[in-house]
Structure 1
Amino acid sequence: MPVPRDSRSANGKGLRPSKTQATESTRGEAVRAMESQETDKEENSQAKRSPSSPQGAPRKRSAFGDLTNAHQNQPTQSKKEVVKGTAKKVLRSTVAHDFSKNNEINLKKSGPKSLAEEASVSSEPTVKEGLMPVQEREEPVPVQKGPSVQEASGAGQPGPSEQMPRMENIEKVEEDPYIGAEYAKEIFKYMRKREEIFPISNYMVKQHDISKDMRAILVDWMVEVQENFELTHETLYLAVKLVDHYLMQVVCLRDKLQLIGSTALLIASKFEERCPPCIDDFLYICDDAYQREELLSMEINILHTLNYDINIPIAYRFLRKFAKCAHVNMETLTLARFICELTLQEYDYVQERASKLAASSFFLALKMKNVGKWTRSLERYSGYRSTDLFSLVKRLNFLLTYQHHDKLKAVRTKYSHKIFFEVAKTPTLDMLKLEDILKNSV
């Protein structure tokens, strides 16, 4: 009787494979599975790896880091990592069991043409020859540009490094690519020159339907909007500047004043914010007093009146530079910001230059905290001597001591919070005491 085909044994006489063949095939499948899993694992790590982080950790907005810091060490390292990962990926897929020492030959022989050419053009030897290593590029920087401790305090003896501009010395290569430390000197000079292009005259003379108090109420409301929408302080300062420059050229009616303020905030948000609020949000904060078409028409009108040139220097940016030059803590800087922000709603300060207003606010904050003097470094960096700021410092101290608008407390309430170190509660200087301090500062 013939034996059924399915009942034959797996000893090589039947149709089933032998034990040795099954073991070899199983082992081969396991090896291929491990290789594919390892390749997928590396691809995932390359996809998650941020090109702006040398450690390979995920980082938000990495593309911006590449744009603003293209010549720094971080993109160089990420380029090496990508090249290494690409080379390994091609070698695994083509030469599974033979690792040759010459990567370019292996890639040209067995890898895809486009991928092999990319790896051969941007391989590690090319990177080392074309770009200087990080240590070699950054070691000479502290020797040439790094300020000494005595120079930072303004009490050192003249030396070789003092011949270089202080604006260039205090700038260091920062980890944050948004700071733009490499261009800080040129940016600062450029903004100082632009101050001369944007003078503000006494425009309230020709405004017959609005007054200084109405403007103060508008700015106080704009401060509340900035807090509610969590906008940056640069947006607030720029919006107030836009309002002043527009009112300087156009006669405004009182029922359109809030529309001008909300539209200025919209334009400043588009200029300063990463995610500006939408138009409906600005209509909502106006309690639907205006239509969408009115807001859009006012936006076009403001931009056309200002010739679409809205990069106006503001005092807030100068404050940050002065604080970095003096090496003060965050509480002192916040106090200076509070003093400077109080001037936004005061019409008497609209004709002051932004850099001088920032310097005077910072000078008064230093004296209120008793943390330093107006050093030679600050004079060189700001362009103002201490004697140039005395009259404006006295006015600012008077503004702190005697409130002109008792009902408008948005700025004082804002800086009374713990987040801002409650700097609004800082005791003010007596006017006679300030006079003595200024005399001793000469």
Structure 2
Amino acid sequence: MKDNSTVYSWMPPSGISNIYFIRKRKRLFVIYRERLVKMPFPRGRKPSASIPKHHANVPGMENQEDAFHVKRSPSSPQGAPKKRSAFVDITNANKIQASNHTKKEKSTKKIQKSSTVAVKNEANLKKSNSLRSEGQPELVNSPKLVKSPVQEPKASPSEEPAKDQPWQVPEEFDIDKEHRGDCCMTSEYAKEVFDYLKCREEKFVLQDYMHTQPDLNKDMRGILVDWMVEVQENFELNHETLYLAVKLTDHYLSSIVALRESLQLIGSTSMLIASKFEERSPPCIDDFLYICDDAYKREEMIAMEVNILQTLKFDISIPVPYLFLRRYAKCVRANMETLTLARYACELSLLEVELVPERASRLASACLLLALTMKSLGGWTPILEFHTGYTLSELGPLVRKLHSIVACPSDDKLKAVRSKYSHNVFFEVAKIPVVDIQKLEEALK
């Protein structure tokens, strides 16, 4: 301001955000520049000619004439903007009564108006009838006032007595009843959530794609997944991040032809995308470039991220077996050691390209059944069959495949998963003796 003795404060009208003024949209500023109001300074405060801190770095705000001042109240502390409530004070009985009285007056006026219109319509009808009786022709398609009999309002389908809905869980199979009222557990619709995830996984069913990759083989993919397990452990990422990253890698490789030189770039970029999707504080690109030993440039990883997202059409919310495994373990109240043993078998399955076509819910069910058999905690119960939707005969071949993977791995060089679950944090479940094949067959009968 040129005149330091006078300060002009500009307040945007209702519905106009300050961001328009910061961006200096000339048209908007010209329209509302006349709303400058002459505001006195609070007592004991001198006019400041400096630019506010939150506008100091905004381009085009270097001059004093471009800076605007927020309207301040003298009663507020340190001249801060006056606080206001975001919602109407619903505890004020006087305001409620006044609003109710106003609504009643409006409704009364509407009723009077509608009755007046009805009287006028009846008068017009009598007039038209008298004209027709005098010999005037009747107008074609002329509107007629027909009094319809008053009918009782029919009950809507939602108001009909509730029948047995297909999603209602029998009381003996209700595993969420102990969490009723806990908003964090969402027990009221937990069953529907997992039913939706199970239906959604049908969209992401893959086939063995290695025959379409002339420069890759299953051993290279196993090495990549083993490295991704180490990355997840070093960065202390969630297990869902690892499973989602492997899924993203498989879906991308099933859609394009990749070279072996770019395989690690694909895996690390998939970890970056999955971290952004699952983690609260994901690692940055520089962390993944460092973990790749600077084999790739920053621009290459950004370009690969764009390619993966565009190839998958940005649909990366893929159901993973880790989610189903926690849900199914809750059905039998499995302890943490049994659940960790099932997770160990499930994480070993990520290394096998033959298990890529398996659905996440079916893989989780088979891993849990194998863990229950190894811990001698019983077989496949009716409550598990209800929540998973799989019978014992449907899980038999997959359980036998997982048993062979846990008993004798296909590649001894891939040790990341075994060393990870040999730690006492994971109850050293990798050191638990594998169940005998005869005992397993008896459990599968």
The interval holding the TM-score normalised by the smaller chain is: 0.5 to 0.7
Name the structure where helix makes up a greater proportion of residues.
1
SS in 2 for 1:118: coil
Matched, 1:386 2:392: yes
Instruction: Work out the CA distance in 2 between the residues paired with 1:279 and 1:176.
Output: 38
Matched AA of 2:407: T
Equivalent of 1:333 in 320, 335, 339: 339
Runs of 4+ in 1 over 6 A off after TM superposition: 112-117
Distance of aligned partners of 1:166 and 1:331 in 2 relative to their CA distance in 1, 3 Å threshold: farther
Superposed, 1:25-424 pairs within 5 Å as 118=89, 120-121=91-92, 164-165=169-170, 169-172=174-177, 173=179, 178-424=184-430
Q: Deviations over 1:189-242 (max 9, x none)?
A: 111111110111121011011110000000000000000000000000000000
- Distance in 2, matches of 1:416 and 1:279, equals 30
Residue 49 (structure 2) aligns with: none
SS in structure 1 at match of 2:188: helix
- What residue in structure 2 maps to residue 130 of structure 1? none
- Cα contact 1:168–1:185 (8 A) shared by 2: no
Structure of greater Rg: 2
Q: Which deviates more, 192-201 or 232-241?
A: 192-201
Partner letter of residue 224 of structure 2? L
The question of 1:436 aligning with 2:437 is answered: no
Aligned to 2:9: none
Amino acid at match of 1:361: C
2:169 maps to amino acid: M
Aligned-residue offset at 1:270: 0.5
Which one-letter code corresponds to 1:321 in the other structure? R
1:252 is displaced (CA, Å) by 0.4
Answer whether contact 2:319 2:360 (CA < 8 A) is retained: yes
User: Gapped runs of 5+ residues in structure 2?
Assistant: 1-82, 98-166
Cα displacement (A) at 1:424: 0.5
Q: Distance in 2 between matches of 1:119 and 1:251?
A: 62
**Partner Cα distance (2:410, 2:264) in 1:** 22
* Distance of aligned partners of 1:226 and 1:357 in 2 relative to their CA distance in 1, 3 Å threshold: same
Q: Deviations over 1:386-421 (max 9, x none)?
A: 111111111111111111110111000000011110
Give the AA of the match of 1:345: L
Contact kept, 8 Å, 2:248 with 2:316, in 1: the verdict is yes
Deviations 1:57-87 (A, max 9, x none): xxxxxxxxxxxxxxxxxxxxxxxxxxxxxxx
2:93 and 2:268 map into 1 onto residues whose CA distance is 51
Change (3 A) 1:120 1:350: same
Match of 1:196, SS state, is helix
CA distance in 1, matches of 2:412, 2:381: 36
- Measure, in 2, the Cα distance between the counterparts of 1:234 and 1:381: 21
Question: By how many angstroms is 1:181 displaced?
Answer: 2.9
- Does the residue aligned with 2:438 lie in a helix, a strand or coil? helix
Q: How far did residue 165 of structure 1 move?
A: 4.5
Structure 2 CA distance, aligned partners of 1:244 and 1:395? 20
* Deviation sequence 1:136-173 (CA, Å, 0-9, x none): xxxxxxxxxxxxxxxxxxxxxxxxxx983479821243
* Structure 1: gaps of 5 or more residues: 1-111, 127-161
> 8 Å contact 1:166–1:380 — kept in the other structure?
no
* Contact 1:212/1:347 (<8 A) preserved: yes
Instruction: State the aligned residue count.
Output: 292
Identity %: 58
- Specify the code of the residue in structure 2 equivalent to 1:120: T
Specify the SS of the correspondent of 2:89.
helix
Match of 2:114 in 1: none
Name the aligned partner's letter for residue 295 of structure 1: M
Contact kept in structure 2, 1:220 and 1:345, CA below 8 Å: yes
How far apart, in 1, do the equivalents of 2:92 and 2:196 lie? 40
Q: Is the 8 A contact 2:173 2:383 kept in 1?
A: no
Q: CA contact under 8 A between 1:226 and 1:236: conserved in structure 2?
A: yes
User: How much does 1:180 deviate?
Assistant: 3.3
Return the TM-score normalized by structure 2.
0.62
CA distance in 1, matches of 2:243, 2:213: 22
Kindly indicate whether the alpha-carbon contact (under 8 Å) linking 2:337 and 2:426 is maintained by their aligned counterparts in 1: yes
Secondary structure of the residue that 2:210 maps to in structure 1?
helix
- Find the counterpart in structure 1 of residue 151 from structure 2: none
With over 3 angstroms needed to count, the CA separation of the structure-2 counterparts of 1:426 and 1:121, relative to structure 1, is farther
One-letter amino acid matched to 1:378: L
